[in-house]
Structure 1
Amino acid sequence: MESFVIKVPARINILGNPSDANEGAHQTISCAINLWAQAKVEPAEKIILENQGSGNQMELESASGLEIKSDHEFRFILASLKLLLQTSEELSEKIKANSGLKISYQSEVPKQSGLGGSTLLVHIGLLALVYFYELDRKKHNLYFLAELTQRIEEQELGITCGFADRYVPLLGDIAYIDYRGKLFHQPINQEPYCAYEKLGAYVEHPPLVVAFTGLEHQSGDVHKRMRSLYLEEFKGFKGDYENAPFMVRQMKKIGDTAWKGKIALLESDWRRFGALMDENHKLVDEMMRYCGFKQGAGELNNKIIELGKGLGALGGKLTGAGGGGSVFFLSFPGEEEKLAEELRNHFEKMGLAQAQVWVPSIVRQGAVVLEK
């Protein structure tokens, strides 16, 4: 196999999150953006992993019997190798019969920024193995790889995140994603795959501005606490949302912002779309306080969202989970760069030296493999 390059985009959850992580019976609007993790994959005598960011490298004598520590630098790609070996007989056979490979990766996604950065490394590991060892693309399709990524992160790495994180970087575009039937995270093929409706051909590009505060956070820590409480309260749910436990009722309201937002998006009703973003954020902030996060979605996050609204944004919310990470705004069409520059100026005055602000583009195709 010749060398090739893999590129995987980050994601933003625009509306409806975190119903992709906590419930599974609702929906989100999510999109892939032009912020990338990438890797060069080439033949080697052994299996070699290289983090181009740190310059560190590791070699594997064997792919069998992998033990993965939670703080291991290469844990994401090691975990993808471990679980794909367990689920793919074809890979097990081909990895024994062929030489090794070298995966040299890097990412421009800020660490723990709420943009799904850890998931991208799992995607890179899976795509590298599927393409290098020329595995059956029908059996190892992108939906299957998205589902396997969820199991890798949850079961092997102890990370609780939403299904949007696992699907959007692979499939791309701006999409309306339905998670019905996925509440209990059953084994693959024992629950539905996500229903992934690409909207890019039907809607205008949303005028978005993303702001990373510079504060790192573990989104899985937030999701884990919320999902645990949700599942506990779901036991008492009798199907009546009006009289449902708080978490169940709140998640229904959050998920509803997505189907309402789809209608607004198709009509380019940006004021309505921005108002739904605000509603989504308010509901999440309330839910996080209920779950024991005293500052809700995060004191700085809430402050920055208010700042953006004061600068003219039509709406603002988290890109993923709260605590630190990133927020994003909807501006009037054509005013994205103006809002971004004003935010940069305010961040400088606030002493947020590590903050970053940019105007994203939607990546239509999702992950790409560039063969040489």
Structure 2
Amino acid sequence: MSYYLKVPARINILGNPSDAVEGDFATISMAISLYAHAIIEPSDKIVFEMRAPGSGNDNQSKDFPLNSVFECELSNSLIPMDDEPKLCKGAFNFLLKISPEFRSKICRRGFRLTTWSEVPRQSGLGGSSLFVILTLAALREFYHLDTQIMNNYVLAEMTQRIEENELGITCGFADRYVPIFGGLAYIDYRGKLFHKSITQEPFATYEILNRWAGKLSLVAITTGLKHDSGNIHHAMRTKYLEEYNTWYHKGGSKPPMIKYMERIWETAWKGKIALLNSEMETFGQMMNLNHGVVNDMMNYCGFQEGAGRLNNLLIQTALNQHALGAKLTGAGQGGSIYALVKPGKENELADVWEKQIKELNLQNASIYTPKISVQGLSIKDKENKTGLI
């Protein structure tokens, strides 16, 4: 049997980066209608195919040019990580290490896993995590692995451990939870700062808000400038943990990184209250405060341009156009920003940004209006299109 899988990208609206990467507090995050896709089908070998970006139709995937392909004979041995697709291979290896059930089944039949994505690479939308999630979910479905043991919370936790421990990417948890669970959510990460083994720390608490909150009128821009979020987070997480550990053991006044992250957390919980009360101007103010603190914190951590000169320029343009709030959604120094505007004003800001990116010669930039993806991870029987999740 073959399966088609789809998983949405995410934006962090408030509270980032306090998703247990530089402080274990909370974010308001939203799954958006940009997706990564996968097809898993029987094969006599183990095959990974990563195809060029496409439009998201599972019937079109074979028409996209190959970016990378890897195949090997059936075996329950670890796959070499010296070439692409490393995200998929890292997920496969991790599952081999922790799942006796998977190790016992992998030698009985092979698979071909084909993946592709609509999400721009290194755009600050959590795109790399999507390939890990798709690989784990596809293997879980294809090999009928125990879904109580490997439930969606565990899937999110595994994704974070794979990226951090197998692939060396410094990361938190928002990018791993939001694509799986979907919607607009307030996510609590308290107790997850040290990234202990799965079940040795709390799972994140995922509180859906879109059933009660009003619509967010958002406009987003991906600059097209590539950045490595792991490198940026590594510098800031290292600084945070150094100051936290010294303060925890020696006491005294709170160090700067703790103060920065507590202020960022405040934007998330106050923003939740404002959102549920439909107080969009207050919500926008929290966005502006969140970005200002992140900009100051990045300067403090040695990034001379803070959150990035170009990002700050585009954010200021949005505010000059009377946006209620504007901020980063990624790690800074590139990636994406978004703005909250009054309903019906989306096109006005998009037109101004469009003119600006031409003046700045940002040839790979793109502007879009993020729409909520209420559903997160979805899995269908490819033959009869039956929805499984």
TM-score, length of structure 1 as denominator length: 0.96
1:269 is matched with 279
Contact 2:322 2:341 in 1 (8 A): yes
- Residue 139 of structure 1: which of 149, 152, 165 is its match? 149
- Residue 134 of structure 2: which of 81, 101, 124 is its match? 124
In structure 1, list runs of 5 or more residues that go unmatched. none
- How far off its partner does 1:312 sit? 2.0
Cα deviation 1:285-332 (Å, max 9, x = unaligned):
000011000100001000110011112211111112001111011011
Q: Take 1:122 and 1:275, find their aligned partners in 2: how far apart are those partners?
A: 35
Where do residues 73-222 of structure 1 align in structure 2 (5 Å cutoff)? 73-97=84-108, 99-222=109-232
Q: Take 2:312 and 2:348, find their aligned partners in 1: how far apart are those partners?
A: 21
1:234 is matched with 244
- Residue 243 of structure 1: which of 228, 238, 253 is its match? 253
**What percentage of residue pairs aligned between the two structures are identical?**
49
Cα deviation 1:241-282 (Å, max 9, x = unaligned):
993000011111111110000001101111111110000000
Q: Take 2:238 and 2:76, find their aligned partners in 1: how far apart are those partners?
A: 34
Q: Take 2:294 and 2:230, find their aligned partners in 1: how far apart are those partners?
A: 15
2:77 is matched with 64
* Aligned partner letter, 1:87: I
- How far off its partner does 1:350 sit? 2.2
1:320 is matched with 330
Cα deviation 1:41-90 (Å, max 9, x = unaligned):
11111111111115132102234132323xx3200000000111111111
2:24 is matched with 25
Q: Take 1:8 and 1:275, find their aligned partners in 2: how far apart are those partners?
A: 31
Q: Take 2:353 and 2:230, find their aligned partners in 1: how far apart are those partners?
A: 27
Contact 2:221 2:365 in 1 (8 A): yes
Q: Take 2:219 and 2:4, find their aligned partners in 1: how far apart are those partners?
A: 28
- How far off its partner does 1:92 sit? 1.1
Q: Take 1:327 and 1:241, find their aligned partners in 2: how far apart are those partners?
A: 37
Q: Take 1:250 and 1:325, find their aligned partners in 2: how far apart are those partners?
A: 22
Q: Take 1:144 and 1:326, find their aligned partners in 2: how far apart are those partners?
A: 28
Q: Take 1:141 and 1:19, find their aligned partners in 2: how far apart are those partners?
A: 24
Q: Take 1:230 and 1:44, find their aligned partners in 2: how far apart are those partners?
A: 47
Q: Take 2:26 and 2:151, find their aligned partners in 1: how far apart are those partners?
A: 22
In structure 2, list runs of 5 or more residues that go unmatched. 53-64, 383-389
1:223 is matched with 233
Of stretches 235-244 and 261-270 in structure 1, the one that deviates more from structure 2 is 235-244
Q: Take 1:241 and 1:319, find their aligned partners in 2: how far apart are those partners?
A: 33
Q: Take 2:370 and 2:9, find their aligned partners in 1: how far apart are those partners?
A: 10
- How far off its partner does 1:138 sit? 1.6
Q: Take 1:349 and 1:298, find their aligned partners in 2: how far apart are those partners?
A: 18
Q: Take 1:6 and 1:163, find their aligned partners in 2: how far apart are those partners?
A: 21
Q: Take 2:303 and 2:293, find their aligned partners in 1: how far apart are those partners?
A: 14
1:307 is matched with 317
* Aligned partner letter, 1:262: K
TM-score, length of structure 2 as denominator length: 0.92
Q: Take 1:254 and 1:48, find their aligned partners in 2: how far apart are those partners?
A: 43
Residues 93/24 of structure 1: CA separation in 2 closer, same or farther (3 Å cut): farther
Q: Take 2:377 and 2:78, find their aligned partners in 1: how far apart are those partners?
A: 29
1:35 is matched with 34
Q: Take 2:267 and 2:26, find their aligned partners in 1: how far apart are those partners?
A: 9
Residues 241/279 of structure 1: CA separation in 2 closer, same or farther (3 Å cut): farther
In the alignment of these two chains, the number of paired residues is 368
Q: Take 2:144 and 2:352, find their aligned partners in 1: how far apart are those partners?
A: 48
* Aligned partner letter, 1:198: I
SS at match of 2:5: strand
Q: Take 2:170 and 2:262, find their aligned partners in 1: how far apart are those partners?
A: 20
SS at match of 2:19: helix
Contact 1:241 1:252 in 2 (8 A): no
Contact 1:271 1:314 in 2 (8 A): yes
Residues 249/90 of structure 1: CA separation in 2 closer, same or farther (3 Å cut): same
Residues 63/93 of structure 1: CA separation in 2 closer, same or farther (3 Å cut): closer
Q: Root-mean-square deviation (CA), in Å?
A: 1.6
Contact 1:5 1:38 in 2 (8 A): yes
Contact 1:286 1:296 in 2 (8 A): yes
Contact 1:205 1:362 in 2 (8 A): no
